[in-house]
């Protein structure tokens, strides 16, 4: 089964078909021949390798073009074959987008290197005491002449300990009390510390980092003091629908695996697919997936048409797609039975991988609050 353009074609342009063809060729020629990593160390090595391969294949280009439907297509295709490849794409998007939005020429050049696969980025916002509540961020950037000195800890950072540069959000002393400022911190900077890896059930480079009197130049600041939160929210608003696309890719793979198994596995003298309860599961899986894809591509289409913010659309897309992808993957495990929980099973990897999508870049609960806040706004 391949990503089906037909249900979402109304939201796409002719160029998107060529982009998907290129991504599917990459999946066929590269991803299909690579073994999924089993340990954190293997995941770190593989993520680096995938960065180079994806850069060479120009798969990150839609990030630079701010083509969010293109980003959705790529994440859906990559997630279908490799949750780790999808994560590599997601982190390049999260780290490069703020630089394309507010960066100086030098910062934009760094983002361009990331798009080429020559630099690996990370998005460092979460802290031990600050997750959904960004105002609770305690990492501090103290101004000293033409430099800033950063102190604080960031946790649950994808590519932590692996990235070449980090987009870091900290409180600048002279900014308004709740204002954040964004900075680029290179991994080799004095005072930057990779504290430890954080190991997930599905291998994915994650870690804790710290800044101990880490000095960066004024040129490392992204945008103005106090505008970091606005930049972070703008970045997440643009990319949130792509998380839903990744969820759809994982769900589509789970459905494909379930269909293949149901048609070949015989029980009670006939294929599982002949059993009404299995047919009911498969139907519900397909319906949930199609509905999720429509929400995802509608949100990305709105942004590509020039909408300032797509908080309502992207919140709906992420919440619905990730929650239903979890259900679809779980149903696939159930259809495969014992085979579905074996370590070598693709649906087992999907089961461990899809869960995080309901949390990162804004939990489902936060998305519901955002959607409700949009609906409850006074009419203009």
Beta strands in the chain (DSSP E): 121-124, 140-144, 147-158, 165-172, 181-186, 192-197, 206-217, 221-222, 266-267, 270-271
Residue 380 lies in a domain: no
End position of a domain, from candidates 86, 115, 144: 115
Retrieve residue 309's tokens.
């913010």
Instruction: Specify whether 303 is located in the same domain as 216.
Output: no
End position of a domain, from candidates 75, 92, 115: 115
Average pLDDT of 284-294?
A: 98
Instruction: Specify whether 194 is located in the same domain as 241.
Output: no
Check residues 95 and 379 and name the one with the higher pLDDT: 95
Instruction: Specify whether 127 is located in the same domain as 258.
Output: no
- How far, in Å, CA of 298 to CA of 12, rounded? 10
Q: What is the CATH number for 22? A: 1.10.540.10
174 pLDDT above the threshold of 90 = no
At residue 254 the predicted structure's pLDDT band, cuts being 50, 70 and 90, is: very high
Instruction: Specify whether 233 is located in the same domain as 371.
Output: yes
Percent of the chain with pLDDT over 90: 94
4 pLDDT above the threshold of 90 = no
At residue 2 the predicted structure's pLDDT band, cuts being 50, 70 and 90, is: low
What pLDDT is stored for residue 177 in this prediction?
A: 56
Average pLDDT of 81-110?
A: 98
At residue 235 the predicted structure's pLDDT band, cuts being 50, 70 and 90, is: very high
Cα distances (angstroms) measured from residue 352 to each of 62, 339, 342: 28, 15, 12
295 pLDDT above the threshold of 60 = yes
Q: What is the CATH number for 138? A: 2.40.110.10
308 pLDDT above the threshold of 70 = yes
At residue 5 the predicted structure's pLDDT band, cuts being 50, 70 and 90, is: confident
Average pLDDT of 226-247?
A: 96
What pLDDT is stored for residue 3 in this prediction?
A: 77
Residue 1 lies in a domain: no
200 pLDDT above the threshold of 80 = yes
- How far, in Å, CA of 213 to CA of 248, rounded? 42
Instruction: Specify whether 63 is located in the same domain as 34.
Output: yes
End position of a domain, from candidates 115, 134, 167: 115
- How far, in Å, CA of 183 to CA of 147, rounded? 11
Instruction: Specify whether 149 is located in the same domain as 71.
Output: no
Total domain count for the chain?
3
Instruction: Specify whether 83 is located in the same domain as 48.
Output: yes
Query: pTM for the whole thing?
Result: 0.95
What pLDDT is stored for residue 175 in this prediction?
A: 66
373 pLDDT above the threshold of 70 = yes
Residue 268 lies in a domain: yes
Average pLDDT along the chain: 95
173 pLDDT above the threshold of 80 = no
- How far, in Å, CA of 58 to CA of 18, rounded? 13
Residue-wise pLDDT tens digits, 45-55: 999 999 999 99
Mapped onto helix, strand or coil, the DSSP state of residue 274 is helix
Mapped onto helix, strand or coil, the DSSP state of residue 359 is coil
Residue 361 falls in the annotated catalytic set: yes
What pLDDT is stored for residue 178 in this prediction?
A: 65
Q: Which domain holds residue 15?
A: 6-115
What pLDDT is stored for residue 176 in this prediction?
A: 64
Residue 330 lies in a domain: yes
Instruction: Specify whether 360 is located in the same domain as 249.
Output: yes
Instruction: Specify whether 221 is located in the same domain as 291.
Output: no
Residue 206 lies in a domain: yes
Residue-wise pLDDT tens digits, 260-278: 999 999 999 999 999 999 9
1 pLDDT above the threshold of 60 = no
Instruction: Specify whether 238 is located in the same domain as 352.
Output: yes
Average pLDDT of 34-38?
A: 94
Residue 48 lies in a domain: yes
What pLDDT is stored for residue 237 in this prediction?
A: 96
Instruction: Specify whether 126 is located in the same domain as 60.
Output: no
Q: What is the CATH number for 360? A: 1.20.140.10
Instruction: Specify whether 249 is located in the same domain as 353.
Output: yes
19 pLDDT above the threshold of 80 = yes
Catalytic residue (one of 193, 208, 361, 365): 361
């Amino acid at each position: 089964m391949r990503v089906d353009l037909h249900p979402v074609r109304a939201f796409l342009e002719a160029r998107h078909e060529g982009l998907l063809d290129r991504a599917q060729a990459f999946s066929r020629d590269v991803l299909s021949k690579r073994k999924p990593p089993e340990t954190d160390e293997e995941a770190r090595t593989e993520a680096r390798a995938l960065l180079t391969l994806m850069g060479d294949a120009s798969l990150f280009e839609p990030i630079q073009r701010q083509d969010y439907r293109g980003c959705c297509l790529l994440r859906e295709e990559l997630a279908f074959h490799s949750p780790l490849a999808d994560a590599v794409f997601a982190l390049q998007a999260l780290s490069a987008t703020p630089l394309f939005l507010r960066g100086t020429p030098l910062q934009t050049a760094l983002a361009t290197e990331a798009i080429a696969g020559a630099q690996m980025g990370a998005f460092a916002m979460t802290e031990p005491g600050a997750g959904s509540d960004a105002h609770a961020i305690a990492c501090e950037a103290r101004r000293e002449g033409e430099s800033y000195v950063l102190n604080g800890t960031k946790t649950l950072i994808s590519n932590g300990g692996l990235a070449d540069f980090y987009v870091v959000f900290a409180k600048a002393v002279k900014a308004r009390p709740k204002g954040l400022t964004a900075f680029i911190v290179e991994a080799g900077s004095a005072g930057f510390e990779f504290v430890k890896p954080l190991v997930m059930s599905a291998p994915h480079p994650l870690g804790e980092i710290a800044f101990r009197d880490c000095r960066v130049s004024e040129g490392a600041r992204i945008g103005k003091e106090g505008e970091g939160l606005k930049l972070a929210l703008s970045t997440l608003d643009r990319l949130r629908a792509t998380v839903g696309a990744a969820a759809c890719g994982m769900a589509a793979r789970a459905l494909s695996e379930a269909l293949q198994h149901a048609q070949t596995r015989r029980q009670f003298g006939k294929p599982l697919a002949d059993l009404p309860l299995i047919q009911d599961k498969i139907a519900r899986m397909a319906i949930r997936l199609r509905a999720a894809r429509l929400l995802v591509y509608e949100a990305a289409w709105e942004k590509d048409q020039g909408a300032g913010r797509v908080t309502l659309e992207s919140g709906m897309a992420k919440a619905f797609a990730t929650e239903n992808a979890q259900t679809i993957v779980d149903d696939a495990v159930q259809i495969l039975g014992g085979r579905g929980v074996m370590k070598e099973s693709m649906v087992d990897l999907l089961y461990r991988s899809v869960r995080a999508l309901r949390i990162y870049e804004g939990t489902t609960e936060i998305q519901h609050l955002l959607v409700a806040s949009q609906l409850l706004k006074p009419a203009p």
